[in-house]
Amino acid sequence: MTKRDELVAELLTMGVNAEAFDKISNGVTCEGIRIMDGSSINPIVYPTETTTAQEVIEMSKQNNGIDETILTFDFAREHVKIGMMRSSGGDNVIRRTSEFDGIDEYMYVDGGKCSYKIPVACPWDISEDELWKLAERNTKADTVLCGMSEMIIGIPSDDDILFVLTNKSTFRGAGNIIDKDAIRAKGIGTKFYAIPSSIHEWILAPVDCGLTPEEVTEIISQVNGSVVDPEDQLGDHVYILEV
């Protein structure tokens, strides 16, 4: 019996309606426990080997009490955005091929601590094309592009050769790579090595920055191997982006 199975069994004996729940995120299976409390939003907790049943209950309470208006189209109209995932990801969501080989675009509703991807069976009466247009608009309104120094220590530097492209929350910000106008407006070049740092951001390096493609590839490999969780990785490929 796995640790998760033991927790579910203990929760059931405590009178908590719980079940094992697997979520596929960006092609990676995440093993969780779903607490069903009768609401339309059931909290899911992802325990570790040291998590106790009582801690699962406490974490589920923290994830509960969410305003269900985030499920409405009125909310989604202003908060639907574009994210990016590996093309091999098994997520059952609305998606389309991006301009980057091996990476797909998908739509999600940015609800803060309760953001969610839009499933293939869209819950609202709107065409997929119109929904993509809304997502593109909202995504571009949220773009952040700054030098690595400013991102890390909050101080811009004219010596930066690496630039971070994300969104204001730095959550699921890789989709903001669609905002070519923001990249052009930054005035840092028109042709870049585009590094998929994670599902949350891209790193852009002007092709004349002095780095070779091999050195850029090594940057990705080091970051993916030591910093980025598997479910957040977009791959080790270096792309050429022209704006």
Query: For 159-170, how does the pLDDT look when each residue is reduced to its tens digit (9 = 90+)?
Result: 888 899 999 999
Whether 65 shows a pLDDT value over 60: the answer reads: no
Whether 130 shows a pLDDT value over 90: the answer reads: yes
What is the pLDDT, as a whole number, of residue 99?
96
What is the pLDDT, as a whole number, of residue 84?
96
How far apart are the C-alpha atoms of 197 and 218, rounded to whole Å? Answer: 12
Whether 57 shows a pLDDT value over 90: the answer reads: no
How far apart are the C-alpha atoms of 36 and 33, rounded to whole Å? Answer: 10
Whether 222 shows a pLDDT value over 80: the answer reads: no
How far apart are the C-alpha atoms of 118 and 88, rounded to whole Å? Answer: 18
Which of 153, 146, 80 has its CA nearest to residue 119?
80
Residue of higher predicted confidence among 133 and 45: 133
In the predicted model, what is the mean pLDDT of residues 58-73? 77
Confidence of residue 200 (pLDDT cuts 50, 70, 90): very high
Confidence of residue 97 (pLDDT cuts 50, 70, 90): very high
The segment with the largest mean pLDDT, out of 18-22, 115-119, 176-180, is 176-180
How far apart are the C-alpha atoms of 229 and 243, rounded to whole Å? Answer: 30
- Cβ neighbourhood burial of 217 (10 Å; 0-12, 13-18, 19+): middle
Residue of higher predicted confidence among 157 and 97: 97
In the predicted model, what is the mean pLDDT of residues 182-203? 94
In the predicted model, what is the mean pLDDT of residues 207-234? 79
In the predicted model, what is the mean pLDDT of residues 150-154? 85
- Cβ neighbourhood burial of 84 (10 Å; 0-12, 13-18, 19+): buried
What is the pLDDT, as a whole number, of residue 228?
78
Least confident segment among 45-54, 78-87, 97-106: 45-54
DSSP one-letter code for 58: H
| Domain residue limits, the chain | 3-62, 68-139, 142-242
Which of 120, 123, 116, 132 has its CA nearest to residue 92?
120
Q: How far is CA 179 from CA 139, 185, 219, 236, in A?
A: 8, 10, 24, 22
